[in-house]
Structure 1
């Protein structure tokens, strides 16, 4: 006598052996559904209390997900000797192990590290204009990442102009700062151009007017029940402008003063970061600061010493090339064309006397070798606090990275957190202890335009013409033309 379980197995066997389920015949979905419905109805009528082994496991997927174009699985014998086909349930891929994740992250991080290094050196050797473009892109992306941290709720609060005002204040600030740099370094070009002269002469007033327009628009966009959020956004935006855009402006000025004042500070920060990691994992024991638990005092001090050594040798190399030590006077210059200039005395060997233990010895060394001690010390002992500040900011908002601009590295801001303050220091140090101030053509033209009347300017032209004639630089014809123009006036 057959029991209910045998009847069930016969029904399932008949269903599997039915042509409807054969993969050699064309697929007939309605017939397949009706066959399954008939089989399940017969089983339910035979015995309702029968418990199937698969009932305690996870629920099977729908029929449509079971059927695929793949070849059928190998058959397995049933209890009564019939052969049944296994259902083609797609197997889930095993979760990626922690080791595999770290391996993939390491590969991605390594690849993009070399990509960034290659891109940086290509821009560096291509010319000053490309480095300026690179710095501009970095500061824009960094500003976007920092502002985006606190800008997410603006969509929920239905405030349409929050993001627009952020970008407006960015554009206004960049217009003011870039204009200041261009006017300072290229005034001899701007002040003699009929179109650019009004923009250069009234640059600060134009910049102030643009900012006031944004300020008035912000006040006009204030809404009830959102005052606290809007003023928080206003303050957050201005903090980002100061910490990123303003400091990047001084990095830009370093490029105009000479490529070494841009490259050397950046290289010192990177070197210090590398040696802090190496020294930390080698003999680090004492925690340095709670914001970064992995930072150790031993790694901090060891990196300082290594950075000074690196800075000494790197300075020796860079001082040998005028492309790095000459101020920019041609934005079209690159490493192949080079630059020409009178060297700053800091790059010229000077005699230094050493009297120690009765020894009196004179040796020649470039003063820059002493200045590099200040640069390396700041890059090792002060600049890392820019990274600690960024770490505290990320912990405040409970985020790991500022963004995902660089695969494997996080955002641009995560890589530039120490560079901005280092560039600011390099600008201040250079203009305080290294820069040589002398009258330039642009300064004289600016003084003549802003401080003299037209008649006085013509008198200056006539006097310069006479001086140049006496020096044999101009002909008598040119001198007569200048004199006749002055008399006609």
Structure 2
């Protein structure tokens, strides 16, 4: 059978003109508003108007603005609804961020079907969250967890249980190693642990900030957001000098201008938040919201104090003024949010350039992924927790701490003596009736 030769064109019989074209007898079905033109071979083509660069930027700006307002609105609704809701939001954000960071790693097609490759990533995430969330719950709610018959074993052996869960995952990882895929599997193992440290561990401290008081969560987060906005405004207004090559659009002028404006914003916002006990009180009721509020003895950092300035510096003005110490601390918070936290974003930019991706994901239209919006928040929340624990927290003995010491450090007989002693003290102080002591003593004798 003869083979057709490549590159040979056969002339087709046609009833067209001298040039061999057939007359177009088809009806014109194109839209009246869609102009048509002849292509190189003479065929009619529909000319689609191209979207200008200005229109693209305009559509992106509109989409970005709409979703920004949606995110801000949802954030405030969750925050005012109660601590449990904002904890749920933070939990969802860290899970999605972990998924996005794990997802940008290039997975070879021949390695995608390896057993436990993806499952182990999520297993280690669950194990880490169990350990960190358990630590927070036991620390802040000892008075609930340690007196419950079911929860007590999990609380007293929490760290050992968490360790064994991790060891199980480690054993499964070693058992799943396959020849020819060692480099990929160990790379995935290291990549997973890096993501756990940079996202889940730092998000854990953000969670603790919420338990310490809503102000320690909201204030750092708002400082980062406003600093980003101020940096954009100052940058496009008078930015000239490039700040860092990882983010070519960042300028020194925008960086410094945003720092100054963030400090001003921090002073104003702190003055507002200090007036609400819902923000400054630690969590003692997970069912509380902005309407029910919280009650506590305010931390001294929120109480205005008198400060005296050297008279030779202010000879014409009063040298004594009243200000809350928190207004001095906000200088440090605003400075960190302006000068250090942006490097979390630069780190994320370098990570994206390494894997040649524009965004971590497409979770938020116009913004990219959740990680693109949270890259600075994680390190800021970590700093807020460390600074608060080092310079602001007031350490008092709590009911949960006393119960923990009694359970773990005393025998049953000694615990009974403590109960009797507390009951006698309350009777002598007139806080409870004498019958309580009689009933309690009789019941304790009966139980023995």
Structures share a fold, TM > 0.5? Answer: yes
Structure 2 Cα separation of the partners of residues 332 and 375 of structure 1: 29
Post-superposition offset of 1:42: 7.1
Q: Which has the larger radius of gyration?
A: 1
Deviations 1:436-476 (A, max 9, x none): 00000000000000000000000001111111111112222
The reply on whether 1:274 has 2:226 as its aligned counterpart is no
Instruction: Tell me the equivalent position of 2:338.
Output: 380
Structure 1 Cα separation of the partners of residues 268 and 332 of structure 2: 15
- How much is the aligned-residue C-alpha RMSD, in angstroms? 2.4
Matches within 5 A, 1:417-456: 417-456=375-414
SS at 1:338 equivalent: coil
Instruction: Tell me the equivalent position of 1:51.
Output: 19
Post-superposition offset of 1:415: 0.4
Structure 2 Cα separation of the partners of residues 366 and 311 of structure 1: 13
Post-superposition offset of 1:159: 1.4
Post-superposition offset of 1:406: 0.2
Deviations 1:65-123 (A, max 9, x none): x789x6999xxxxxxxxxxxxxx978363333323222221111111111111111111
Post-superposition offset of 1:434: 0.3
Unaligned runs of 5+ residues in structure 2 are 1-11, 33-42
Matches within 5 A, 1:454-473: 454-473=412-431
Asked if 1 retains the 8 angstrom alpha-carbon contact of 2:15 and 2:22, the reply is no
Asked if 2 retains the 8 angstrom alpha-carbon contact of 1:269 and 1:383, the reply is yes
Change in 2 beyond 3 A, CA 1:245/1:185: same
Structure 1 Cα separation of the partners of residues 445 and 209 of structure 2: 46
Asked if 1 retains the 8 angstrom alpha-carbon contact of 2:239 and 2:251, the reply is yes
| Residues matched between the structures, number | 424
The reply on whether 1:193 has 2:148 as its aligned counterpart is yes
The reply on whether 1:141 has 2:96 as its aligned counterpart is yes
Q: Pick from 362, 384, 394 the counterpart of residue 352 of structure 2.
A: 394
Post-superposition offset of 1:484: 2.6
SS at 2:307 equivalent: strand
TM-score by length of 1: 0.82
Larger relative contact order (C-alpha < 8 A, sep ≥ 6)?
A: 2
Unaligned runs of 5+ residues in structure 1 are 1-39, 74-87
Instruction: Tell me the equivalent position of 1:22.
Output: none
Change in 2 beyond 3 A, CA 1:235/1:154: farther
TM-score by length of 2: 0.90
Post-superposition offset of 1:485: 3.7
Farther off after superposition, 359-368 or 121-130? 359-368
Structure 1 Cα separation of the partners of residues 140 and 232 of structure 2: 40
Asked if 1 retains the 8 angstrom alpha-carbon contact of 2:14 and 2:21, the reply is no
Asked if 2 retains the 8 angstrom alpha-carbon contact of 1:151 and 1:233, the reply is no
The reply on whether 1:179 has 2:147 as its aligned counterpart is no
The reply on whether 1:123 has 2:91 as its aligned counterpart is no
Instruction: Tell me the equivalent position of 1:347.
Output: 302
Q: Pick from 374, 382, 405 the counterpart of residue 363 of structure 2.
A: 405
